[in-house]
Every structure is written in C-alpha cells, then in structure tokens.
Chains A and B, each alone.
Chain A
Amino acid sequence: MFEEVASTEQGDLVINIGPQHPATHGVLHLVITLNGETVKKVEPHLGYIHRSIEKMCESLSYRQFIYVTSRMDYLSSHINNHGCAMLVEKALQIEIPSRAQYIRVIMDELTRLASHQLWWGAMAMDIGALTPFFLAFREREMITDIMEETCGARLTMNYMVPGGIMYDIHPDFCKKVKEFIKHFRSKIDEYDELLTGNIIFQNRMKGIGILSKEDAISYGCSGPTARASGVSCDVRKIYPYEIYDQLKFDEVLATEGDSFARYQVRLVEMHQSMNIIEQLIDNIPEGEIQAKTKAVLKLPKGEFYTRIETARGEFGIYVVSEGGTTPYRIKFRSPGFSNLSALDHIVRGHKIGDMVAIMGTLDLVIPDIDR
C-alpha cells in the first residue's frame, strides 16, 4: 500500500493539466511529473469549485438542504436527493407509501442510465472519438425530456422530499419510459458496434490502468470503478434500501481491473438498469405519494448515516443533530473523491495519453469531489 513518493529529478518535466482543461471535465488541477512521456507522479489539486456545501447545509432546514445536494454530483442528482430524503425518513421513522418507493427507484435507475450514457460519450471523446458523444446525448435527451415532464427540471430536479415524492408522475410517464427502453435496447447495440469492438479503442483500453482488488479496497473506491476490480460493493445488493431487495438484478463484476473492465461494467450496468425499470414500470401500485409529515421537521438528538448507490459509487450522508430544525454538522461521503485518490496509483508508469483515457474510465464529476 505504501509507495515511495516519487521525487523530481533533473530532466523531469512538471506540467499542469487544468484547472481549465477539457479533458478533466471540470475545474480539476493536476500537477504531473513526467519523465519523457511517462507519468511519474500525479498530484490532484482541489478547491477550484469549492462552494462550502457542507457548511451551507448547517443553516438550512431538513426540507431545504436536499436541493443543494443536486449541485454536487449533478449527473445523479436524483439519487443524491433520494439519499438525503432517506436519511430524514430513517431518523424520524417515517414509513413511505409503496407508490412513492416504486417511483423513486424508477427515477434512480433512469438517472443512472442518463449518467452512464453521458459518461460513455465523454469518455469516448477523451480518447479522441467525437461521434459517440452525439449518439450518447441523443438517447440521454429522451430521459431528460421524461424528467422535465414529470419533475419540472432537466438536471436539478429536487423531486424527492422527506416522506415521498413532490408530485405524482405525469400521465404519459409510463408510456414514455416504455418507449425509451424499447428505443434504447436497439441503440445500445450501436454503442458496441461503434466503440466496443473498435480495434484502436480496445488497444488503448485493455491492460491499461490496472487497479487491483486490494488497492481498490484500500483506496476506498466504490461503484463501477471498484466492481471492475472484483470488489462486491453495490449498496443496492449488500445493504438494500427501498424495494431493491424484491427486485431481480445482478451485481456486475469484473476481475481484470483495467480500463476496459471499467468500461464493460458500466455498459452491462445500463442493461441491468433497464431490466429493473421493466420490472417496475407496469406494477406501480396505486395510492398515496407522500407520507404525512409535520410542517417543521426536527430530527432527534444523535448521529445518523445513510448510504446510497449513485452512478459513481457509494454516496454517504452523515448528520449530527442536536434536536433542532437544522443539522449541527453534515458530512457527505462522495464517491468521486475516493475514486480520484486512486488515480495517482493507477497512472504511474503509463504514458500521458493513457492518463486521459484512465481518467475518463474513472468517471469523475468534479463538483462532487470538491464540494
């Protein structure tokens, strides 16, 4: 686990990638020590998009702090909101109606699909293929349209409230989701045709950026990044919430731990998400969408922790309450931060061109890393 800290010798080149660089997908600053074209060391510098969200939450009530979390990992904003709402429900022991549970899970999986689609396009663009980006956004547009119709916003929905969901699904929701699944099942084969089988892509992915199982665990990686190394860490399986324990789906695991494994895991996860939605979409029970809650929510004194599986990994919310209307301290465990910490270890010894490809497969969202 302990590695010798690479020192800068004469002849080494220290360069900066970012904070304004298209390959870092946001304002991430990487200081890279190069020996020729080989990466010796990568130092991520954070802080360029720090908005002090955790501190801000301390002055917001338990209904208000949910909307802020959509600004962290904006690609899985639904799932972040879901986690926060779940924490409040757990602390106050609110039973939420089964209709709300079904809709929440469908929305989560749609968000996961949209996030993986965007990742697929952006990662291909990092490697140098531009067409996949447009194809991915074409399918993602259908999901954002569904979200817009039901939730009222395309990216920062704020649809989950403590006790259920904000309003009932749109009358066209089920029809449109079924249409989307049918459409996307035919289009995901195009993804394979265009990129997965491509010889240039495979040579740049296979055997590159290997993260072993032990390292994935010790760096605290989660989500598809860790599952590609063989770590069973899907919160939906090992610590089921809502109705995930009643659903039939597989935890996608790979053993290679290289870039291609991370790519494959995410593609198969898209199929799994579609399976989950198909199981639920015809069986949404009738009934209430919100449990009855008090107008002002007060959490009992104590500490609370909830975990949820976002598209990037395990997202944890830790709240210390002193019995008031606002949290005393709040801490978010974001998946991107831990996944980024493994970057230095993975990239060492690779060429600088591979570094961008490896970063693409880690699926980093910078506002999530730097709250």
Chain B
Amino acid sequence: MFIKEYIKDVWGAISSLLKGMKLTGYYFMHHNKEAITEQYPDNRKTLKMADRFRGEVVMPHDENNEHACTGCTACELACPNGTIKIITKMEPTPEGKKKKAIDTFVYRLELCTMCNLCVEACPTGAIKMDQTFEHSVFDRRLLTKKLNKPDSKVREGVE
C-alpha cells in the first residue's frame, strides 16, 4: 500500500514537472513567433508613441510665430511641483494702452511629473503635452526650458 502511494507520488511529481517543461519547450522552439521583445534603440524610426502619451509640456506656435498664452498663470497655480514659472511684462498695444503679455514661460522639465493638470487648467489651450520621451542631457541646466519662442506674440483674438 505504501509503495503504491509512493509510486503514485513520484509519478505525479514527474508529470507535473514535464507539463511545465513542455510549455517552456514550446516557447523555446517557437521563439520566432512568440517573441515580443522590442529592439528599442534600433527601432527608433518606426517607434510611434500613443497620441495621448505625456512626455513634456510644449507651447505650439503657428506660422506667424504666434502662440495662445495670455499669461494668466492658471497653469502655474495648477502645477503641484512649481514646474512652471511665468514672467509677465506690460506691452503697448496699437491703441496706446498697455496690456499684460508673457515675457518668459519657464518650464523645468526635471521637476515635472507629467500629471497633465496644467494642460487641463489652461483656458486658451496654449500648452499641450508632447510625445517625446528621450530627455537625457549632459547638463542639468538644459532641462530648464523657455517655451515661448523669441519675438513671439499672442495670437489676435485670444483673451
């Protein structure tokens, strides 16, 4: 009786191991079909990120070098980490009055957690998330970015 149980146990153990080995063997033999590895630095040209992927904050400019940022600092207030700092200036309008406009939109990528709260808070849609993800640089200072391009203006009609 004892021997019968013993043999049954041994047989059960061996068959359970073989079952697992069969699966491993299947993947070993079908590695061409089953492999899902991405050869990352080599597939850079064909690699496409999802449309909504949050890589960094950018400010889109149109062909006239105009953006939609009015300098209302809603994004600065919405940011949990102090990533965004907006420096404003007073600019004369054609009517002779003075109007608030942005001087520098400072964006510090090294502090950003890509939480998307600034983009949600922006009333004019001036900033958006870009799909870039290779952010490594040799100097930390390069991570502090100025988002508005030189000599750019607020687009007409954006209030």
Contact = CB atoms under 8 A, between A and B. Distances in A.
Interface of A: 60, 63-65, 67-68, 131, 138, 141, 145, 148-153, 156, 158, 161, 166-167, 170, 190, 193-195, 197-200
A138 B16 CA distance: 23
B118 to A, nearest CB: 11
B80 A141 contact: no
B129 interface: yes
B24 interface: yes
A152 B16 contact: no
B7 interface: no
A51 to B, nearest CB: 13
A153 B51 CA distance: 11
A256 B19 CA distance: 26
Interface stretch (B98-106, B108-116, B142-150): B108-116
Contacts of B53: 148, 152-153
B19 A152 contact: no
Nearest 8 A/B pairs, CB to CB = A199-B13, A64-B80, A152-B52, A67-B115, A152-B54, A149-B50, A158-B115, A197-B16
B29 interface: no
B36 A64 contact: no
B158 interface: no
A148 B23 CA distance: 30
Given A65-B80, A141-B36, A158-B115, 14 more contacts: A60-B80, A68-B80, A148-B50, A149-B51, A149-B52, A152-B53, A152-B54, A152-B114, A152-B129, A166-B116, A167-B52, A193-B20, A194-B19, A200-B17
Nearest to A131: B24
Contacts of B80: 60, 64-65, 67-68
Contacts of B54: 152-153
A199 B49 CA distance: 43
A161 B115 CA distance: 11
15 contacts: A64-B80, A65-B80, A141-B36, A152-B50, A152-B52, A156-B114, A158-B117, A193-B22, A193-B23, A194-B24, A195-B20, A197-B19, A198-B20, A199-B12, A199-B13
A197 B12 CA distance: 10
B154 interface: no
Given A150-B52, A152-B52, A153-B54, A67 B17 contact: no
Contacts of B12: 199
Interface string B41-62: 0000000011111100000000
Interface in B64-122: 78, 80, 113-117, 120
Contacts of B20: 193-195, 197-198
Interface of B: 12-13, 16-17, 19-20, 22-24, 36, 49-54, 78, 80, 113-117, 120, 129
Nearest to B34: A138
Given A152-B50, A152-B54, A170-B52, A198 B16 contact: yes
A166 B50 CA distance: 16
Nearest to B14: A199
Contacts, number: 68
A156 B80 CA distance: 15
Nearest to A57: B80
A152 B116 contact: yes
B103 to A, nearest CB: 25
Contacts of A64: 78, 80, 117
Contacts of A149: 50-52
Contacts of B49: 148
A254 B53 CA distance: 41
B17 A199 contact: yes
A320 to B, nearest CB: 20
A370 B152 CA distance: 47
B52 A63 contact: no
A151 B52 contact: yes
A60 B120 CA distance: 17
A194 B20 CA distance: 4
Nearest to B35: A138
B52 A198 contact: no
A190 B24 CA distance: 10
Residue of B17, B24, B54, B116 contacting most chain A CB atoms (<10 Å)? B116
A68 B117 CA distance: 12
A156 B117 CA distance: 13
A138 B38 CA distance: 12
Residue of A67, A150, A161, A195 contacting most chain B CB atoms (<10 Å)? A67
B23 to A, nearest CB: 5
Nearest to B10: A199
Contacts of A152: 50, 52-54, 114, 116, 129
